[in-house]
Amino acid sequence: MSDGTPPIPGPAGPREGLVAGGAHGPGRLRVLTAIALDALESAAPARGGPLPSGGPEAVALSTLARCAPVLPEEGVGPEAALGDVVRAVAEGAADPADPACVAHLHCPPLAVAVAADLAGAALNPSMDSWDQAPAAGVIEELTTAALARLIHPTAPAPDALITSGGTESNLVALLLARERAAPGTLRVVTGANAHHSVHRAAWMLGLPAPVVVACHDGRIDPAALDDALADLAGAPLLVVATAGTTDEGRIDPLPEIARVAERHAARLHVDAAYGGPLLFSERLAPLLAGLEHAASVTFDLHKLGWQPVAAGVLAVADTGMLAPLSLRADYLNADDDTEAGLPDLLGRSIRTTRRPDALKMAVTFRALGRRGLGELVEHCVRTAHEFGRAVDARPGLRRRPGLRRRPGDIGISTVLFRPTVADALPDEAGDAVVAAVRRTLLAEGSAVLGRARAEDGDGRRRLWLKATLLHPDAAAADLLPLLDLVTAAADRAATEARADGVVTGADVDRAGPEAEADRGGPEAEADRGGPEAEADRVVTTGVDADRSGPAAPGAEDTDAPAAERLSP
């Protein structure tokens, strides 16, 4: 210890009991982990809901009160620091384990995955050379091989990389396509429903801005794609499709897209960050038919896979596609070490230092198996359908209409809806009410709902509340209070609208079942559609015996501006 360095507080002395690994580290970690768990346990009831109340200013003040200064002149000791910071973060958290926290593709992680993540953090292997991660490298190899075979079951030599998430996976996919594009400049063609990371990746890689093709019912229009590829004839082409859009959970028509891409000698990448885990379920996997034709696939397990962030994957149909990532750094993968049999890990990522994120995935896979994971996915999909029916049953709420102006199909596990009181207002004012409902619930700390713009039954784009259901335990009954909260907040917004003179009481009264029927809601559809219309809407998968399983992907256009599309 250098002169002037104060001893570290703690009963083990200044240089003992500091690290988490080694022979004595786990004992010290056990004591500190108990403090962290106590803070987590006491914070949830203190928070009282899925989000702290009071908004950003209140959260900042309460956090500062516990944690400032973050770099004091003299330390407070590990026990006090851990208790204070964990308690502050937990009390001020948006807790995805609360059934009313449904805004984003933000899952509650499984306890077994979190425990595995703790072990990985304690051992701290860096996944860039064998001598930093001997066994962890083997675990990663087993995990990526299993995922590669799940995604590309018939490919002769599939492979997969562990990434930080969908954004990195899409970036690497475009990078690999660019490196195989010579001669000529790679042109990326994608739908208006694509995630913003596709456009960002093209910009980062110095590629021309992607060509955006029209969407129909929230999915790429194959005819528009065909025309766009024909216009780019002669250039190296990459088509990027989406299996699970962020706003609505829509799945592009992958078989048709694959045929169009093949006709124009274009490679196909599928961003299945959201929808990829449907493959765990034998009943739901057919919704991803055509995925096997993709040269590369983005797949995230910190969405519909219940892993702590980060847990991304990029799968490729042919391991040879990864060759451009190869790199030599003598201190990590010297030629003679590789020739002597030490595995080369450096070419497995665009990053150097990497956490052992495959460890938590491997533990989860072994704990649940494919069947257990599939059951959790099916639960989330089934719950979304039940939640959608609950919305349909509420006279003060309506679900976003789809084809023939009926309530739209559920997109994997995402439901869009809005209070009918907003329909009595001019479009801009109605959208403002929807936005105000969401922000009111956030400020109260009572619910965390998302927002999305999508076409209504009359063809106009409107703002909708978004519920993305990823909770592996929550049932539809747990979500019904959320609808009560929305209805109550909407009634308050209607009262304020009356006070502002934007809408009259008579207008608000008309924003009920009659207005819903005018827009093509469930009551109107009961007269128009009947069993044949319902048969057109639902694709039976066996999840629900009453034919309420996942519907064929389809929704209104989702070509929202980038500002309206939420990051994963």
Beta bridge partners of 251: 243
Task: Please give the Cα distance from 258 to 359 (Å, whole number).
Answer: 34
pLDDT band at 335 (very low <50, low <70, confident <90, very high): very high
Listed in sequence order, the DSSP H helices in 393-456 are 427-444
Q: What is the arithmetic mean of pLDDT over 224-235?
A: 97
When the pLDDT of each residue in the chain is averaged and rounded to a whole number, the result is 87
Provide the token pair at 257: 């897209």
For the ranges 57-66, 232-241, 449-458, 550-559, the lowest mean pLDDT is seen at 550-559
* In contact, 427 and 456? CB cutoff 8 Å: no
pLDDT digits (tens, 9 = 90+) for 457-516: 888 899 999 999 999 999 999 999 999 999 999 988 877 866 766 555 444 444 444 444
Question: Angle at Cα 226 formed by Cα 220 and Cα 232, nearest 5°?
Answer: 115
- For position 409, what pLDDT does the model report? 81
- For position 457, what pLDDT does the model report? 87
For the ranges 17-26, 317-326, 359-368, the lowest mean pLDDT is seen at 17-26
Which residues neighbour 254 within 8 Å (Cβ) at sequence distance 6 or greater? Answer: 241, 243, 270, 288, 289, 290, 291, 293, 294
* In contact, 243 and 272? CB cutoff 8 Å: yes
Candidates 31, 110, 54, 483; CA nearest to 301 is 110
pLDDT over 90 (residue 12) = no
* In contact, 199 and 249? CB cutoff 8 Å: no
* In contact, 446 and 49? CB cutoff 8 Å: yes
pLDDT digits (tens, 9 = 90+) for 309-321: 999 999 999 999 9
- For position 17, what pLDDT does the model report? 75
- For position 182, what pLDDT does the model report? 77
Type of residue at 227:
D
pLDDT over 70 (residue 518) = no
3-state secondary structure of 36: helix
What percent of the chain is modeled with pLDDT above 90?
78
Q: What is the arithmetic mean of pLDDT over 352-381?
A: 98
Angle between helices 196-204 and 166-179 (to 10 degrees): 50
- For position 2, what pLDDT does the model report? 46
pLDDT digits (tens, 9 = 90+) for 125-153: 999 999 999 999 999 999 999 999 999 99
Task: Please give the Cα distance from 280 to 299 (Å, whole number).
Answer: 12
CA dihedral 43, 48, 54, 55 (to 10 degrees): 70
Which residues neighbour 395 within 8 Å (Cβ) at sequence distance 6 or greater? Answer: 420, 512, 513, 516
Q: What is the arithmetic mean of pLDDT over 411-415?
A: 96
pLDDT digits (tens, 9 = 90+) for 254-306: 999 999 999 999 999 999 999 999 999 999 999 999 999 999 999 999 999 99
Provide the token pair at 140: 């990663």
Q: What is the arithmetic mean of pLDDT over 337-365?
A: 96
Which residues neighbour 382 within 8 Å (Cβ) at sequence distance 6 or greater? Answer: 543, 544, 548, 549
pTM score of the predicted model? 0.86
Provide the token pair at 180: 């195989």
CA atoms within 13 A on the CB side of 550: 26
Candidates 533, 543, 540; CA nearest to 402 is 533
Task: Please give the Cα distance from 339 to 315 (Å, whole number).
Answer: 27
- DSSP code for 552: P
Task: Please give the Cα distance from 328 to 123 (Å, whole number).
Answer: 26
pLDDT over 50 (residue 546) = no
CA atoms within 13 A on the CB side of 433: 31
- For position 525, what pLDDT does the model report? 39
* In contact, 464 and 490? CB cutoff 8 Å: no
Task: Please give the Cα distance from 507 to 478 (Å, whole number).
Answer: 32
- For position 9, what pLDDT does the model report? 52
Which residues neighbour 364 within 8 Å (Cβ) at sequence distance 6 or greater? Answer: 110, 112, 113, 116, 301, 305, 306, 307, 373
pLDDT over 60 (residue 213) = yes
The strand order across the sheet containing 211-213 reads 159-163, 312-316, 296-300, 267-272, 237-242, 187-191, 211-213
Give the DSSP per-residue string, 338-384. Answer: HHTT----GGG-S-SS---HHHHHHHHHHHHHHHHHHHHHHHHHHHH
